Amino acid sequence: MSLAEVLRLLLRHWKLLLAVPLVLGTTAFLLTRHEKKTYTSETTLYTGIASGYTLKGNAETDFFSTNNAFDNLLNLIKSRETKEEVAYQLLTHHLQMKDHLDPARLNWNSLMRLHALLPAALRQQLTGPTQAETLARVRAYAGANDTNELYLLLNSFDPTYSVDALGHVNASRIQSSDLVKLDYEAEDPAICRHTLELTTQVFSEKYRGLRMDQTATVIKYYEVETARALVLLNTAEDKFLAFNRDNNIINYYEQTKYIAGEREGLYADITKIQMQYAAAKARLAAIELKLAGRNRALLSTGELLQQRRELEQLQAGLANQQLYGRLREPGTPTDAPRLQARIGELTEAMRTTLNDHYSQLNSVEGIPSKGLIDEWLRNMLECSDNKAKLEVMLQRKQEFMEEYHKMAPLGATLKRIEREIELTQKTYLALLTSLNDSRASQQNNELTTDLKVVAPPFLPLHAKGGKRLMLVAGGSFGGFFFVAATLLGLGLLDKSLRKPSVAASQTGLPVLGVLPPPSATPPAPGSYADTALDHLARQVVRRAGTQGAPTPFVVGLVSTRRHEGKTQLLQALAIKCRALGLEVLTVCPEGTDAGPDATYYPPALAVVQRWPLARLTQGQAAHVVLLELPALLEDTYPVAPLTEVHLLLLALKNTRTWEPKDAQALQDLRSLTMAPVEAVLCGVQAYESRELLVQHEPVRRRPRLRLAFWRRRAATA
């Protein structure tokens, strides 16, 4: 559909395009004549989420975290719990006033409306001595069941106390800053401001409580776990202490290191003493071999043996005192000096005993016996001393081995206890660190959740512009565009034969011409109707005047249905052809109104008796014979005259659609005649016929030429 067609379609229905917007605009104007005034107020809060200062310094910029924090804040403002709490507190403040009006909270009309909403008995029941008591009563009564007055009021569409009304509190972040703006509109300016104040107070407390509850739960968890870890750590340390006490361990690693060092030194001393003892023992045996006779027997006397045994005991005690003296604490008394003195005395006593029993001066080899006895005494003392030391060292070696075997398994157990202490300590320190971090986070939340009111809500003095003008304009323009869209949609979906090109494409027939809508008055010269009829007549005359055309020229007018306009077409062609000077004979079936000059025939009799064309025309002669046949789909039509028809005109009403049964009727008609079939579109408006009439402009002189041609043909005949 072209732009010109769209405009023509709209112009055709200009009355509807004006009437519907006018009706809708008037209706909107009348319905909004009692529109209530509304007042708007706003407040601005500073959050510090994006760039605020915390315990760790300036807040780090994180786009996703910041957006998440703002989303949480805005959703908390818009939550139902916040709206309900604001409604409770707003109603509480208004109930506390009773009959004493506070202009800063609400006006007189709002107070009267509250009295109308809640009965006096209920207001008295809900009102307590203090504001806190009244708030508690309101909450309890509203939450008691879902059928009481407060619950129904809260879930209604009341403009002041309902959740739906408080849902109009709009909260938004100002660009990418730390500021949040809240705005609200109400019928009462005082209620508008007071609602914003309560909303700010309620959601700030909820926001702080939510943040603090999160950290409080975490802190409580870490406190419990830290206390449990401390108990485990103390238990492990007590176990470690008891293990060291039971096993006489002061420092296991130093003790084992000392034992290992002492053992190595002891082994070296034992080796050294064994060598000295073996050497002294060998020398003593050599000296005893050199002594002979009574000198050798002297060494075996009872007194000397007694002194030797005592000497060995003293030397063993002295060696024991010297070896274990290093293990004693400083200041501990010792017997070493006494034993040394006694050993010296006993040595002198043995020397004296030997001198008293000496009876021989020289040995067998000639060596003096006195020197051998002295040397024997020295070696005997050295051998006895080394023997005592060796025995003590071997005893000490056995003690070291026992201590070593005792300390070796204790290391694994001690290691396991120390590892348990280390793990428990690490767990305790980690929990303690997390606890401190959580407490710092809680303190940080206390600092950062304190929302600051930058711009408090103001009392609006002027009402907000109403929506009356917008509704009237919207209704008018909406009605206009709705009607226009409906007309365009119907035009696009229209499948009727509205103009020649559409009729030609749907029927497959060439369109000979168009017939204007029927009119009670004859067409004026030069008008669209006159031009269209003239065009049709010229087309028929042109085909009748072609070389070889028979005389008379028979034109059949048919239609597939009734009331298609073929009778009007017959009359119009007859009038125009007679105006051109042609003799025209019109033949119509009985029941039609084609005028007094028409010849009528009975269709049923003509069909049964197979009347030829001459019988239908009753022998009358004319240049052009216009034969009208009954509707092809609805009536019975004669078949015999179709063989004598030279041109068939199919009348089609432009408001109808072309259907398969029409195509089948046309196909049956074509099978009965060789005459060409062309369409004539009836009831076409002027703007829809221009595509056909512009292509065939009228020529005024050509019909006169055709008239001379017909006269020559008539004279020849």
Within 247-335, where are the H helices? 252-290, 294-298, 302-324
| In contact, 39 and 460? CB cutoff 8 Å | yes
Q: How far is Cα 468 from Cα 25, in angstroms, rounded to an integer? A: 10
Strands (E) located in 90-174: 170-173
Maximum alpha-carbon separation in the chain: 215
pLDDT-derived band at 364 (thresholds 50, 70, 90) equals: very low
Sheet holding 584-589, edge to edge: 511-515, 677-682, 647-653, 553-558, 624-628, 584-589, 599-601
pLDDT-derived band at 124 (thresholds 50, 70, 90) equals: confident
- What's the pLDDT tens digit per position in 48-83? 776 755 555 555 556 787 888 888 888 988 999 999
Rounded to 5 degrees, what are φ and ψ at 476?
-65, -50
Is residue 673 pLDDT above 80, yes or no?
yes
**Selected residue with higher pLDDT from 330 and 618:** 618
DSSP β-bridge partners for residue 57: 54
pLDDT-derived band at 555 (thresholds 50, 70, 90) equals: very high
- What's the pLDDT tens digit per position in 378-391? 667 677 776 777 77
Rounded to 5 degrees, what are φ and ψ at 452?
-100, 135
Give the per-residue pLDDT at 661.
Answer: 93
Q: What is the DSSP letter of 523?
A: P
Is residue 653 pLDDT above 60, yes or no?
yes
- What's the pLDDT tens digit per position in 253-293? 666 666 666 666 666 777 777 777 677 677 666 666 665 54
Is residue 145 pLDDT above 50, yes or no?
yes
| In contact, 511 and 667? CB cutoff 8 Å | no
Q: How far is Cα 286 from Cα 475, in angstroms, rounded to an integer? A: 146
CA dihedral sign of residues 705, 709, 710, 711: positive
Is residue 240 pLDDT above 90, yes or no?
no
Report the C-alpha dihedral over residues 612, 613, 614, 620, rounded to 10 degrees. 160
Most trustworthy range by pLDDT among 163-177, 294-308, 330-344, 695-709: 163-177
Residue 71 neighbours by CB distance under 10 Å: 11
Is residue 298 pLDDT above 60, yes or no?
no
* Nearest C-alpha neighbor of 510 from the set 333, 658, 690, 692: 692
Q: What is the DSSP letter of 686?
A: G
Chain centroid to CA 703 = 82
Give the per-residue pLDDT at 302.
Answer: 59
* Nearest C-alpha neighbor of 666 from the set 645, 683, 649, 682: 649
Q: How far is Cα 717 from Cα 711, in angstroms, rounded to an integer? A: 10
What is the pTM assigned to this prediction? 0.47
- What's the pLDDT tens digit per position in 491-544? 777 788 878 888 888 899 999 989 888 887 888 888 888 888 888 888 888 888
Read off the pLDDT of each residue in 466-482 and give the average, rounded to a whole number.
83
Give the per-residue pLDDT at 701.
Answer: 44
Read off the pLDDT of each residue in 460-488 and give the average, rounded to a whole number.
83
The percentage of residues in the chain with a pLDDT greater than 90, rounded to a whole number, is: 10
The encoded tokens of residue 131 equal 């504001």
- What's the pLDDT tens digit per position in 618-646? 888 888 999 999 999 988 889 989 988 99
Is residue 591 pLDDT above 50, yes or no?
yes
* Nearest C-alpha neighbor of 41 from the set 177, 181, 137, 147: 181
Give the per-residue pLDDT at 676.
Answer: 92
Rounded to 5 degrees, what are φ and ψ at 555?
-115, 120
Is residue 222 pLDDT above 80, yes or no?
yes
- What's the pLDDT tens digit per position in 451-473? 888 889 988 888 776 677 888 88
610: phi > 0 → left, psi -120 to 50 → alpha, else beta; which? left
Listed in sequence order, the residues at least 6 apart from 268 whose beta carbon sits closer than 8 Å to its beta carbon are none
Listed in sequence order, the residues at least 6 apart from 692 whose beta carbon sits closer than 8 Å to its beta carbon are 500, 511, 513, 514, 535
First to last CA, the chain: 53
The encoded tokens of residue 284 equal 């003593």
Most trustworthy range by pLDDT among 11-20, 54-63, 496-505, 667-676: 667-676
pLDDT-derived band at 359 (thresholds 50, 70, 90) equals: very low
Instruction: Kindly give the pairing relationship between strand 677-682 and strand 647-653.
Output: parallel
Is residue 363 pLDDT above 50, yes or no?
no
Query: Whole-number mean pLDDT of the chain?
Result: 79
Read off the pLDDT of each residue in 134-163 and give the average, rounded to a whole number.
89
- What's the pLDDT tens digit per position in 696-706? 444 444 444 44
Is residue 410 pLDDT above 90, yes or no?
no
Is residue 571 pLDDT above 50, yes or no?
yes
- Which range among 21-35, 154-168, 185-199, 346-360 shows the weakest confidence by mean pLDDT? 346-360
- What's the pLDDT tens digit per position in 437-452? 888 777 766 666 678 8
Listed in sequence order, the residues at least 6 apart from 439 whose beta carbon sits closer than 8 Å to its beta carbon are 219
Is residue 344 pLDDT above 80, yes or no?
no
* Nearest C-alpha neighbor of 323 from the set 383, 388, 264: 388
pLDDT-derived band at 399 (thresholds 50, 70, 90) equals: low
The encoded tokens of residue 163 equal 């959740």
**Selected residue with higher pLDDT from 403 and 419:** 419
Q: How far is Cα 89 from Cα 106, in angstroms, rounded to an integer? A: 14
In Å, what is the CA distance from 377 to each residue of 295, 296, 307, 319, 504?
Answer: 13, 13, 12, 19, 161
Name residue, tokens 């070593």. 404
DSSP β-bridge partners for residue 182: 43, 171
Is residue 677 pLDDT above 80, yes or no?
yes
Q: Residue length, the chain?
A: 717
The percentage of residues in the chain with a pLDDT greater than 70, rounded to a whole number, is: 73
- Name the strand (E) or helix (H) holding 42: strand 39-46
The encoded tokens of residue 613 equal 């064309």
CA dihedral sign of residues 141, 143, 147, 152: positive
